Structure 1
């Protein structure tokens, strides 16, 4: 049960940092319960648990302190009896697990521990689940992340109790975790003013009520990657609701995830990235859902593919579109820069930027001054740019080399040799980069 593992991990960390020796039950009663449930607004809703099972006339926001303590005692009684199901141990299967109900998650044939310490740890660990757009939850067993989220618990409680945010919804701890961790690890976070500019970004207001907006997985991981050392961290991804799903343990390559943004800054400047960052981060990783990204097995550069880029890639299935480069259109420029930086990150060779640019210049030079042969040569270039595989690309290079001038022939021969040496799985990325650079330079030549 992963929630229990995370809870145990944090409890060990907490005891070390505070020089205490609290058991899981003691931490739950002294810290967790007081933050999450000992208030008119809960921070977490656990279906069928004693905290949400109300007697006639009872409502969570109207409970008196002694009634909330009764709920705590009811949980302790069930845990003490070793009653381990989804109502007493977060992440355990529902009590009707014999039928493998849709409300059961993380089901296993292995015998699960049902001791008191483990059951309380599952509650503690569940509080660290990070919600992202799409409804998925991620658990990280990382001390820096756990400490940051624990700070966020107190901030969420502060907001729920603040009269200025009287309309703020409770029971959104997982969604809150996603927003808080992104903010806590951002470049704008300040220790002396931890919630500066926070509420305006994450709280959605409607007719006097507030709701925490869901963060995207990409923005979350970009923020985490800025703070943690470049490394692979493993997250447990799952979903809990009317139907529970387990995605499994997914490696997140923080260095790879940061790579396209770093290339954006290198090629176009820090100012451009800061100016464009909101749009850029909406484009990266937009080609498919987080669920599909998890199916890749590892979340790295490939998962950051921008939406729409595949339309301009020569995959051999459909004819690739020609990118319409417009130097006067800001959105067009951001899209172009996002596309080329992702392609470069996939190629993992910075020099490919210049090589693609040089190839585009050679193709333009080939058609320049060709007189009545210009149409034929333009068609040859179009065929070259549409080659679905390396073999077809090199075959299409033959007439160019044969008809090229002494000025361009060496460069074309060198390009053919480079393409021939490329790993087959990177050819499409390099050719797409050439196509984009060709569109850029063709527009520059006309202007």
Structure 2
């Protein structure tokens, strides 16, 4: 019951930072319940819990609100009923025929009442990452930041009558990404905080923050750390991915865009790192990314990159960077490859090779013939193959074609071949696609074409 552990962590943190020695029940009554359930619209919906059950007319008592009666019912169940999912967050359903009955066992420790209250505290600290999944992260700064965001969610909800409630995990994702932003001002926490609400059938809701954006914020706050997160989904059918390592150190290599702004269109270079990172899109969804064993650089592979790499069953698509959106994704794809290679020499070799191939296609002795120019373009494109032996053969063919000008390409080709033979097999396709990207940038003669000497720091 990891929710109870997380809840207890926040409770201990609360005691340390406020000096108030509250029990879990007291914390629930004083801090969580007034914000989450003492209103018509809740911050969190727990199916079949006392707060999800309408109070019968005959059970209403003079001087007591419906919320008061629901709270009393909840306390009664905690004190006297065998724990189940209706009032313990993260627990299996009662009985053996529910959708979570596979979790049921008659072996296990007795659950303390304090642990039940802690499960509600911990259950309110999930960070929504899409497809119904949430993360629990046992880090003091994360837990305290999310706790501080609860009151802002209540205010945000009350100020928007058309906004549905029960989205605490989704809110937590937005709040964490905002609070761990490099421009966050603790004394003015709502400055620059903005959510683009979506409308469905006349009802407004908060969209889930992209999981990669939450990782970028964590990577900024913990630049050299690897964290452990617990991934789960509490819905009609509970799902548990389990503990997933977050390799934030490697992800941070991609987030440092200051030295790589030259790869982006000039029109967006002044937008800043945070604004640019919000445009990043991934190939994997969150659940699929977890199947890689850890959330690191490989898991945040840019969307559509594989279209340009090709595979055994399909040829690579032609690169097009005619629109600003395409140019931005083109830049991110290059930056991700640079981060994966993590080798300045490989970038330099790829960039110099791209320049040499570009110069090869501009040879004056073929300018008078459109067919000849197309043949040169085709020959240069032929270098971008996934097989190292074929790659070397294609470079050799270009040297032979170049005749007296071969000497101007020889050093660059030699270095490219040297790097290709020394690098791990898995890196070679990345080296090839990076070279192709740099080549297309030059061929496009647009804002992405950069001088040969430009390179990331």
TM-score normalized by the length of structure 2: 0.85
Listed one character per residue, the Cα deviations across residues 38-88 of structure 1 (whole Å, up to 9, x for unaligned) are 23332211111112222335999xx97543232222222222225111012
User: Match of 1:406?
Assistant: 407
What pairs with 1:22-101 in structure 2 (closer than 5 Å)? 22-57=22-57, 65-81=64-80, 83-96=82-95, 98-99=96-97, 101=98
Q: SS at 1:235's partner residue?
A: strand
Aligned to 1:422: 423
Q: Which residue of 2 aligns with 1:7?
A: 7
Which among 223, 232, 249 is matched to residue 238 of structure 1?
232
Q: 1:225 to 1:324 in 2, by over 3 A?
A: same
Would the alpha carbon gap of residues 208 and 315 (structure 1) be closer, same or farther in structure 2, given more than 3 Å must change?
A: closer
- Work out whether 1:195 is the aligned partner of 2:190: yes
Shift of 1:403: 5.0
Q: 1:222, 1:257 within 8 Å by CA — same for their partners in 2?
A: yes
| CA deviation vs aligned residue, 1:370-414 (integer Å, no higher than 9, x gap) | 5487666554433321x2222322233333345552222232122
Deviation at 1:309, TM superposition (A): 1.4
Unpaired runs of 5+ residues, structure 1, are none
* Distance in 1 separating the partners of 2:105 and 2:356: 60
Worse overlay, 412-421 or 75-84 = 75-84
Alignment of 1:15-414 (within 5 A): 15-57=15-57, 65-81=64-80, 83-96=82-95, 98-99=96-97, 101-103=98-100, 111-160=108-157, 162=158, 164-198=159-193, 200-204=194-198, 210-263=204-257, 265-268=259-262, 272=269, 274=271, 278=275, 280-285=277-282, 287-326=283-322, 329-367=323-361, 368-369=363-364, 371=366, 378-385=377-384, 387-404=385-402, 405-414=406-415
1:136/1:237 contact within 8 Å kept: yes
> Secondary structure of the equivalent of 1:128?
coil
1:314 to 1:169, Cα distance in 2 relative to 1, 3 A: closer
Look up the SS of the partner of 2:245 in the other structure.
Answer: strand
RMSD: 3.1
Distance of 1:107 and 1:347 partners within structure 2: 47
Name the residue aligned to 2:441.
Answer: 440
Query: 1:65 and 1:166 mapped to 2: Cα distance?
Result: 25
Contact 1:149–1:177 under 8 Å retained in 2: yes
- Runs (5+) with no aligned partner, structure 2: 450-457
- 8 Å contact 1:86–1:104 — kept in the other structure? no
* CA distance, structure 1, for counterparts of residue 346 and residue 102 of structure 2: 46
Q: 1-side partners of 2:313 and 2:396: how far apart?
A: 24
Larger CA deviation: 21-30 vs 242-251: 21-30
